[in-house]
Structure 1
């Protein structure tokens, strides 16, 4: 079977999140027993780890930093001549030289939105340069992250690798009727947002826009799926605006049930916006791709790399997430024109099947582990 691949990552289930799902998806699609994951502890991790077809070694706390103790543990897990994958390049990629000394023959580092944010800060830029020097391959999600990283990473190392979508799970008919029945939505037009409830994602913008949507689509429902620190504030806003009859906030939903909640919608909307002078921006937005796989048209915010997950005017619309009028017009326009919405959803599903299936991503990842990839920045024009 060859040497095992070591994946060192702060981002791993059962902790929720897009990066966590991405890294887990890569590990889960390798041959059984061919990887070992080193990740922090999280509530429920013992039960989760017992179900995996590979070994998971947990750090004692919920955060790993490039310290000597983390270095020693990671080095002890390296197999001579094997590959090491950093689930996020910053900051754990600083351990790469030590893991090479321990026997790693190849180092692959994944990047996400936060590395693009690091690239905007002088001190962090220096660290990213150091991190890139220790890698054989540094992956990027799309054009936004490429443009941020290209001035810092040595030539020839940047290769595109974006998350995949499980097209068997995310599809029309995945259980949306049952969700609608359980929530009492019936056949009302539904705009659904699946995401953590945090300021960048734009659920508050949807609530501000919702009265304008209701003027054009009076029986519409806004379905907010997910948990997070903004839940109470969103509930208060909905109550203050007397929107309780047209807004449903579900709280956290198990991952296995998420396809059914997407399927309950007619339009997917997450009008994210960049914050903190651009330091808090969307890296890609896997939820847009999952929505497209489910056959929904998407409304995305113009933040960071969100536009890389939407074909503007074909699979959805990209709007200014800070503009209440723009958000309302996009959502109401699609809800009030089911034919247009359906056509966008069909084009989105076809795009996902062509370029974003997990099978394609898994094959690409396997090439990166062995050095068989086409290589270089030319990867920008290759499928994810």
Structure 2
């Protein structure tokens, strides 16, 4: 690959899925051919410590939100020339891909923009469609997560730009997420013992559907009285979820872990018998699931999954093989699928095994990083 300037507003230690995606990809590129230009972080000392541990240089802009302003674009062009970069990878195409024409003038030969769920939302708004069209024309390639995001974003592009789109989803580290990842230790620590456990790992926000799982619990408990719902993650919706569990009468069967360090996530997946996150689309299609990497991490861990039908979430499930997709916001249908899995250990094993094979065949980081290298 050419020496590449990664321009991104999404980079650790800022938390989030896009941040993890960009960092994981960057680590799998040749460190001698990577320079990162990123926004600053609220804790400058934490960012400095993080940057010092990276195998490539990280240059922080003074802005907490990196936008394609004239000043930031000039800085990106300066870094491009200073480090001898001839390719640019925009960690999120919108809005930073608007820098593309200026960076091409500064010497970039290849410009690649990665799209995520939010660009699919932009594509539904007149102003957003116009900006995406400009980004598509300015870059050589726009990547997409799955068929849902491709179709939405392509509709906003010129036919030529849409024809240049390439799939580049996040990958899964199959050596980190695997059966036997330490779930028994987590169960013991949380007092779950050998109870049937439905686990959900995600940020606590309304779109993810933890409330749907709580509302499904009364029915689940009628058939599986010892069942527990393990909700892993932090977020602004936690208080409302705790109050919902109290009102529904299932608080004793719902365990909230709060935010969990990344290194401990595989064991928390492994603590479950079934993974469920019945996500739903909100705000007229603007708040939508781009893909749902947690479904793939659960599959890598050997769990069957129950996913919601929001956005690109179905792209992360082989429906009927690695799990099922249910309408988001339906406690009844979520309970149906969860109970089917809880009562049938052989079905859980078969779906979990198929999910593990699918990850090894199609979703490994090394396969996807090689695709990015070819684009650059």
TM-score by length of 1: 0.93
Candidates 132, 135, 138, aligned match of 2:139: 135
- List structure 1 segments (4+ residues) > 4 angstroms apart after TM superposition: none
Find 1:361's aligned residue among 360, 365, 368: 368
The structure in which a higher percent of residues are helix is: 2
Question: Which residue is 2:129 aligned to?
Answer: 125
Q: In structure 1, how many angstroms separate the alpha carbons of the residues matched to 2:88 and 2:123?
A: 23
CA contact (8 A) 1:89 1:110 kept: yes
CA shift for structure 1 position 33: 2.8
Confirm or deny: 8 A CA contact 2:3 2:85 kept in the other structure: no
Pick from 109, 114, 117 the counterpart of residue 113 of structure 2.
Answer: 109
Partner of 2:211: 204
CA shift digits 1:255-311 (9 cap, x unpaired): 111111111111100000000111111111100000000000000000001000000
- Out of 150, 155, 166, the residue aligned to residue 154 of structure 2 is 150
Q: Distance in 2 between matches of 1:62 and 1:253?
A: 25
- Confirm or deny: 8 A CA contact 2:123 2:155 kept in the other structure: no
| 1:294 aligns with one of 293, 301, 304 | 301
Structure-2 separation of matches of 1:248 and 1:231 = 11
**Does the 8 Å CA contact 1:172/1:263 hold for their aligned counterparts?**
yes
1:190 aligns with 2:183: no
Once the two structures are TM-superposed, the CA of residue 241 in structure 1 deviates from its matched residue by 2.5
Contact 2:307–2:313 at 8 Å: present in 1 too? yes
CA drift at 1:81: 5.6
CA RMSD of aligned residues (A): 1.3
Structure 2 equivalent of residue 372 of structure 1: none
Residues matched between the structures, number? 368
Cα distance, 1:122 vs. partner?
1.0
Query: After superposition, what is the alpha-carbon deviation per residue over 1:26-51, rounded to whole angstroms, capped at 9, x for unaligned?
Result: 10101123211111222322222121
Partner of 2:183: 176
- Change in Cα spacing, 1:367 to 1:3, as seen in structure 2 (3 Å) is closer
Mapped pair 1:19 → 2:18: yes
Give the gaps of 5 or more residues in structure 2. Answer: none
- 1:95-136 deviations in whole A, cap 9, x for unaligned? 111111111111000001111111111111011000100000
Bigger mean CA offset, 306-315 vs 98-107: 98-107
Deviations 1:327-346 (A, max 9, x none): 11111221121211111010
Task: Please give the alpha-carbon distance, in whole angstroms, between the structure 2 residues aligned to 1:50 and 1:181.
Answer: 37
Matched, 1:92 2:91: no
Q: Is 274-283 or 66-75 further displaced after alignment? A: 66-75
Which is worse superposed, 344-353 or 53-62?
Answer: 53-62
**2:253 corresponds to which of 234, 238, 246:** 246
Q: Is the 8 A contact 1:272 1:303 kept in 2?
A: yes
| CA shift for structure 1 position 325 | 0.5
Once the 2 structures are TM-superposed, how far is the Cα of residue 244 of structure 1 from its aligned partner? 2.7
Question: What SS does structure 2 have at the residue aligned with 1:363?
Answer: helix
CA contact (8 A) 2:205 2:236 kept: yes
2:75 pairs, out of 73, 76, 100, with: 73
Q: For residues 8-28 of structure 1, give each alpha carbon's deviation from its aligned partner in whole angstroms, at most 9, with x where no partner exists.
A: 111111122211111111101
Equivalent-residue separation in structure 2 for 1:168 and 1:356 (angstroms): 12
Structure 2 equivalent of residue 327 of structure 1: 334
TM-score, structure 2 length as denominator?
Answer: 0.95
Counterpart Cα distance in 1 of 2:201 and 2:34: 30
Match of 1:51 in 2: 53
Q: Secondary structure at the match of 1:109?
A: strand
Instruction: Give the SS at the match of 1:165.
Output: coil
Single out whichever of 38-47 and 340-349 deviates more from structure 2: 38-47
Quick check: 1:169–1:259 contact (8 Å CA) kept in 2? yes
Gaps of 5+ in 1: 370-384
* Partner Cα separation in structure 2 for residue 231 and residue 151 of structure 1: 36
C-alpha separation in 2, matches of 1:50 and 1:188: 44
